[in-house]
Amino acid sequence: GENVEQHPSTLSVQEGDSAVIKCTYSDSASNYFPWYKQELGKRPQLIIDIRSNVGEKKDQRIAVTLNKTAKHFSLHITETQPEDSAVYFCAASISGYSTLTFGKGTMLLVSP
């Protein structure tokens, strides 16, 4: 089955800095890669996703890049703000109603 590795497990940055979280996956058939943000005790919320037919996708301060050859994808957050502090999960799946396999999560702490 699919295996998703996520790094780092914790990331501390100063407000205004950029943050990068990286994930690798094992199943070359995976073609859908969402990123979820989960604040403490709350539901995971989809913040951005990418499909294997594109290499990069951007939404304001958030961007995701995908390297299919190397089987890794990354989340980039620019101009970080304290409200970006949360746990971020990457995931992978094969499009067409298969299950999501999640990474172990990255706790991002943005200090004012």
Partner 1 sequence: GAVVSQHPSRVICKSGTSVKIECRSLDFQATTMFWYRQFPKQSLMLMATSNEGSKATYEQGVEKDKFLINHASLTLSTLTVTSAHPEDSSFYICSARGLGQPEDIQYFGAGTRLSVL
Residues lying near partner 1 in the complex (CB under 8 A) = 32, 34, 36, 41-46, 49, 89, 93, 95-97, 99-105, 107
Q: In whole angstroms, how close is the CB of 99 to partner 1 at the nearest point?
A: 6
Smallest separation (angstroms) from partner 1 to the CB of 57: 14
Q: Locate tokens 């070359």: which residue?
A: 28
Complex with partner 1: residue 52 or 78, whichever CB lies closer: 52
Distance CA 26, CA 42 (A): 29
Hey, is 84 helix, strand or coil?
helix
Nearer to partner 1, 80 or 101 (CB): 101
Show the tokens assigned to 75.
């989340």
